[in-house]
Amino acid sequence: MERFMIIGERIHCISPVIRKAFAERDAAPILQRAKEQIDAGAAYLDLNIGPAERDGEEVMMWAVQLLQNEFNNIPLCLDTANKKAIEAGIKVYNRDRGKPIINSADAGPRIDMLDLAAANDAMVIALCAKEGIPRDTEERLTYCTEMLERGMALGIDPNDILFDPLFLVVKGMQEKAPEVMETIRLISEMGLKTNAGLSNVSNGAPKHVRPIIDSVFAAMAIQCGLTAAIVNPCDQRLMETIKTCDMIKGNILYADSYLEL
């Protein structure tokens, strides 16, 4: 089995520091967050430039080259609703260490992100949602199947689609958590890959509790088959949990210092 894929979430324009850095093309704060995440064990970095309707193409190209030049072509997840920006990013993207991931398509208005992935030989995160929050497991699977069929018709390798069952906040939608687990299990049983936007689950919970909810949620989801997650790799408890899951599942070989790698 392959190792669990950790996608670092910290280059996100919701952070004022990063938003400002994008606007001013200030490399330092972006490189710093990238380095922290890579050192902590991120395999991919999410690059969220926001809706970026005005200068998305330039920002994406600038950031892709900045990160890949500095960090030995670290693979990236291009995260924006602006399709032209994604295309521009892919044009300058180096694939030596992995295909770009488009973040994200859904079964509704953003289904054409699948077309974009197919046209550019990219991987894509596919949210199992159409309008609002899916009612139940069955509805999630319906969307999964719709996107899978469309992707395959377009010639995408099913392994290049990371299905995201839509992780929801526990505080307020507690009853959805078992549904998410069940969805991962069912999608995994089809031999498909899954991704989690993990930090959503602990939103609103006290700060000291969040890493616990995130880690346990991750461990349970990994046992259901989860193969990737967008997370904060600087969360030590979470990273230790994921590495230990990898070790227990046999994805990495045990050594006394396995947590230090």
Partner 1 sequence: MAFKTSVQKYTGSINKLEFGSGENSKALGGENVLPFYTFDGNIGGKPLIGLEILDVYPEKWLDELQQIYGDAANNAVQWARFVEEKFSPDFICLRLEGADPNGLNKSPEEAAALAKEVAQAIKVPLVVAGTQNHDKDTKLFEKVAEVLEGCNVILLSAVEDNYKKIGAAGVLAYRHKVAAESSVDINLAKQLNILLNQLGVKNEDIVMNVGCAAVGYGFEYVASTMDRIRLAALGQNDKSLQMPIITPVSFDTWSVKESVASVEDAPEWGSQVERGIAMEVSTAASVIAAGANAVILRHPGSAETVRKLADALINN
Q: Which of 3, 117, 215, 237 binds partner 1 (CB under 8 A)?
A: 3
In the three-class reduction of DSSP (H, G, I as helix; E, B as strand; rest coil), residue 15 is classed as coil
Find where tokens 């469309």 sit: 150
Does the footprint of partner 1 cover residue 96 (CB under 8 A)? Answer: no
Nearest Cα to Cα of residue 235 among 78, 35, 49, 36: 36
Helix 27-39 crosses helix 16-24 at what angle (to 10 degrees)?
Answer: 130
**Which of 7-15, 32-40, 189-197, 251-259 is the region at the interface with partner 1 (rule: CB under 8 A)?**
251-259
Restricted to residues 127-156, the positions that interact with partner 1 (CB under 8 A) are: none
Q: Do the beta carbons of residue 35 and residue 1 sit within 8 Å?
A: no
Between 14 and 261, name the residue whose CB sits nearer to partner 1: 261
Q: Which amino acid is at 66?
A: L
Quickly list H helices, the chain.
Answer: 16-24, 27-39, 56-70, 83-91, 112-119, 137-153, 177-189, 210-224, 236-248
Find where tokens 């994200």 sit: 104
Does the footprint of partner 1 cover residue 257 (CB under 8 A)? Answer: yes
Q: What is the CA radius of gyration of the chain?
A: 17
Does the footprint of partner 1 cover residue 251 (CB under 8 A)? Answer: yes
Q: Do the beta carbons of residue 247 and residue 23 sit within 8 Å?
A: no
**Which of 108-116, 132-140, 178-186, 247-255 is the region at the interface with partner 1 (rule: CB under 8 A)?**
247-255
Does the footprint of partner 1 cover residue 254 (CB under 8 A)? Answer: yes
* Smallest gap from residue 129 Cβ to partner 1 (A): 33
Between 204 and 250, name the residue whose CB sits nearer to partner 1: 250
* Smallest gap from residue 41 Cβ to partner 1 (A): 13
Size of the site for partner 1 (CB under 8 A): 10
Does the footprint of partner 1 cover residue 234 (CB under 8 A)? Answer: no
Does the footprint of partner 1 cover residue 253 (CB under 8 A)? Answer: yes
Binding track, positions 194-233, relative to partner 1; x by CB under 8 A:
----------------------------------------
CA distance 196 to 177: 12
Q: Summarize as ranges the residues that interact with partner 1 (CB under 8 A).
A: 3, 251-257, 260-261
